[in-house]
Amino acid sequence: MKKKLKIDSYNKKILSTLHLEGALTNIELAERVNLSPSACFQRVKALKEAGYFRNLHADINLDQLCEHVLAYIEFTLEDNSAPSRRRFVSRIHEIPEIMDCMQLSGDVDYISLSCFPNLKKLNEICSGLSDQTDLRIKHIKTRIVLERAKWFLGYPLSKLKWLDDEKFDGEMISERVSI
């Protein structure tokens, strides 16, 4: 079903454009990438079916909607055996306040970006995790986000070496939008 596609300069431009501006109509997108609407449509469809991108997401203005607290939470496990890690990661997935979680090199095993309605709730959830002894968490360190110095603007696609790069001799991918 999932077919491997050649990621030529058209597909690169389609992907990077949709990454930064997913609300374009097919016609607008086609104009930007210099294809006919039908050709553009077929490529978008093929790219999606092949898994090169999944969904679109609206970036909502949380500051405008509600009070909240962002925090990085770091986890160090007693032992990082596969079963321990599996149990920990499984538990993390059950907590929607923990928005993502990355396994790291170094002394700390995991770091997660989390969002809570207030500090009380943050403390509740962290304490709850600590108290669950079967998770074998040795240490939790919480670092509150005071300010977003730079907002996430997407992957630096123009700085990465895409696959099939030998086929790409066109101009550079679309520029990133600035705040």
Q: Which of residues 133-172 bind its own copies (CB under 8 A)?
A: 143-163, 172
Candidates 4, 25, 100, 179; binder of DNA (CB under 7 A) is 25
Number of residues lying near DNA (CB under 7 A): 16
The one of its own copies, DNA, none whose footprint includes residue 20, by CB under 5 to 8 A per kind, is its own copies
Please report where in the chains the tokens 């996430």 appear, as a residue: 152
Q: Does 89 bind its own copies (CB under 8 A)?
A: yes
Site string for its own copies, 97-136 (x = CB under 8 A): xxxxxxxxxx-x-xxxx-xxx---x---------------
Shortest distance (Å) from residue 174 CB to DNA: 17
Q: Cα separation of 75 and 114, whole Å?
A: 13
Q: What residues contact residue 14 under an 8 Å CB cut-off, 6+ apart?
A: 29, 33, 40, 43, 44, 47
Query: Which residues between 132 and 161 bind DNA (CB under 7 A)?
Result: none
Q: How far is CA 139 from CA 82, 87, 91, 104, in A?
A: 18, 16, 16, 15
By CB under 7 A, name the one of 45, 93, 138, 141 that touches DNA.
Answer: 45
Burial environment of residue 88 by CB neighbours within 10 A (0 to 12, 13 to 18, 19 or more): buried
For the segment 4-33, give every residue that binds its own copies (CB under 8 A): 7, 15, 18-23
Q: Which of 77, 68, 132, 65 is closest to 99 using CA atoms?
A: 68
In this structure, are residues 130 and 142 in contact, taking their beta carbons and an 8 Å threshold?
no
Q: Closest separation between CB of residue 50 and its own copies, Å?
A: 8
Q: Are 132 and 75 in contact (CB under 8 A)?
A: no
CB of 86 to DNA, least distance (A): 39
Name the residues that contact DNA, by CB under 7 A. 6, 10, 25-28, 35-43, 45
